[in-house]
Each structure stands twice: as C-alpha cells, then as structure tokens.
Amino acid sequence: MPRIETLAVHAGRDDFAELGVHAPPIDLSTTYPVSDLDVGTESFDALVGGAASARNPIYARLHNPTVGRVEQALAALEGTEACVAYGSGMAALTAVLMDARSRGGHVLVVRPLYGTSDHLLASGLCGLEAEFVDAGEIAARRRADTALVIIETPANPTLDLVDIRAVVAAAGDVPVLVDSTFATPVLQQPARLGASYVLHSATKFLGGHGDVIAGVVCCSEERARPLRTVRAATGALLHPLGAYLLHRGLPTLALRVERVQANAIVLANRLSEHAAVARVHFPGLGTVRNAHLVGAQMAGPGSLMAMELRGGYAAAAAVMAKVRLMTPAVSLGSVDTLVQHPAGLTHRVVDPEARLASGIGPGMLRLSVGIEQVEDLWADLAQALDGVALSAAA
C-alpha cells in the first residue's frame, strides 16, 4: 500500500489514462442525456437509493463524476471504503445526524467542538436530543436509543485530544463520529482506530487555499449509502468546481501539513515565553488534555494552537488589530496564517456557561499557522504582543 504522501498525489485518478487527461477534469453538467430509458430508470433508482455511481448520472444533484473522483481520493487517504462529499462541513454533519434518527433519538457529544456544530446539536434542529458529556462518561450515559457518539480531536479551539480507541470501546455498538478536521489524514486516521464516521470540514486543510467550502464524511460503503440518499434529497451535493479545487490541492497536502506543523512548533515555544501570554494550548507543548496521544494516535502535534492573553478580551482585540502579516479571520488550515477570537466569533453561538466550562475565555485567541517563513510570522506576532504588554504595563 502506498504511503499517504504518494496516495495524496495519485488517489482518485484511476480513470485519467482512459480519459486521456493529466489534470482532474471538471464536469459542470446539470443534467445528462437519457437515450435509453431502461438504463435511465435503473440509474435513477440506484442513485436515489444511495449507490456511489450508475451507468447514467441522470442529474447533478444525484451524482457528478468530478465529485466522485475526489471522494475516491479522500476515502483512500482515510483508509475507508467510501467518502461522501457535501457543500460544507455543516451539511456533512447534518446528513449524518439525519441518518442517525433512524437508529434513535439520543446523541452523546464531547465538548469542546466547533461552535456551529455545538449550536446545531444543542438547538435540536435535527430532531435529536444531544447530551454533552466528558469522554469518560460515555459508557455510563449510553442509552438504548443512543444513535451516535460525536467527538472532535484535536478539539476546537482548545486543542485537547480525545482517545479515539477508548471512546469506540465505551460506545459499544453505537457508531462514533470523529471530526478530524484539525488533524487531516496525514496526522490521524480515525477509521483505523475504530471510528464509524470521519468528518472533515474540507474547507480547511483539505482545500488548503481558502477558496472552497466543502465537507466530507469517510466511512464504510454500508454507512455511505444512506448519506448519499440524504444528500440527493436535500440537495447538499458539493459543486464540481469545489470538488476540482479539492482534488487539485490534495497532492500538496502532506507537504503543507509538514511545513505548517514545523512553523507551529517554533511559534508555540516562543509564545509560551512571552510576557503577554498566560498559557499556550498546543499538543506539542504537553499543555492540552491527553497530550500523550501525540506520536501514538496522532503522528504530530499539528499546526493549530490557542493562546490565553493576560489582558483578557482587550488584549485579544488589540492583537487582532495590530497584526499586519497575519490575517484576523475565522477558518483555518489555509496556506496563510489566520488568527481569531473563539469566544467572540466561531464559538459565540455556544451557550456562554458551556463555553467557559470548556475553557474558552475572553482572552483566548486561536492561531492557524500557515506556510510563511516562520521568522516573518514571529516578527509580526511579537510586535502585536509587545504592544499589548507595553500598554498593560503603562
């Protein structure tokens, strides 16, 4: 089996020789001619029923070849039989939740996780009762109607790690969904540890260039079929241009992860010594829950970190205003460095008490490190932090 660096370059390209192309082709058709009605009817039934493909794609909401190729590529990277792509990470999560309703009405969720995921679950919009628990409580809180266990590791934004094998064991026969967006398949492959679903906001590292919104769920073919049915019924298919951009970016995924991780290690160590910073949450520093999983569950610490500033909200706002090279913006996993305020932005929709209980305070900033030269990044960050420290001392 080729290593992941090689798979990232070649996966999802099996039909390129037959097509006579070298770059991923884009099929922008909304509909496909049906010259043989018997084939068309057979194909329609297959696709609505959740088949990965059919002899005739019929209609782009049911299937698109460009989307199909990037799904094959990502399934290969995660070591699963199938992958189902959606128009966003939230659409992907929603599809899993809608399918979960056929198994029961109760979901166990470990905080923290992405703010909008938290909000969707807590709101009950998908008709499920979400119970928020610690990872160690899963076995005790599991019920006869528990349909799904949801974790995110590394967690957003605290970077706490969750032991996937332990969660799978505690869940028993209940499927486990792991949001592995922060790790990417380069650093972590949850399906190989027993997870039933691996979710990515492909907008982030998988896309990697800040120009596509997408979400994917990697899983077995049996679990993929109902997810495709939900996608077809709700119109949540990833646009083929987005699929093309994802596929185009995958060959550099491992290189990008390696570079941003190396930069993050340098920045995390320096931030931990800065007078304006009270704490840095980074797996590579051992300052997050279950940091011992780095090197075991995760191949490396990744490139996301959170820092708590001594000056609280005012200091956080000042740093975001003072950076010049880094971009003060939500999202992550792009080639450029982004800094944002979880309590005021990505996690603002989370219940305030739950937010604070998860360690997301007013002085926390989340940093997504890019591929820039690390000394340039540090110079920008240091001048912003120095300004905050001087203001506090004045």
Give catalytic residues, as residue numbers: 61, 114, 179, 204
- DSSP reduced 3-state for 229: helix
Rounded Cα distance between 290 and 27, Å, is 44
Sign of CA dihedral 297, 299, 302, 306: positive
Contact predicate 82/313, CB 8 Å = no
- DSSP reduced 3-state for 370: coil
- Mark out the alpha helices in the chain (DSSP H runs): 4-10, 16-19, 37-48, 65-78, 89-100, 115-123, 138-141, 164-171, 184-187, 221-234, 240-249, 253-271, 312-322, 352-357, 374-393
Tokens describing residue 114: 């992405």
Rounded Cα distance between 127 and 370, Å, is 38
Contact predicate 264/326, CB 8 Å = no
Q: What are residue 333's DSSP bridge partners?
A: none
Rounded Cα distance between 85 and 20, Å, is 25
Rounded Cα distance between 376 and 368, Å, is 15
Amino acid at residue number 232? A
Amino acid at residue number 100? A
DSSP characters for 252-280? GHHHHHHHHHHHHHHHHHHHTT-TTEEEE
**Considering only CA atoms, which of 250, 255, 251, 284 is closest in space to residue 267?**
284
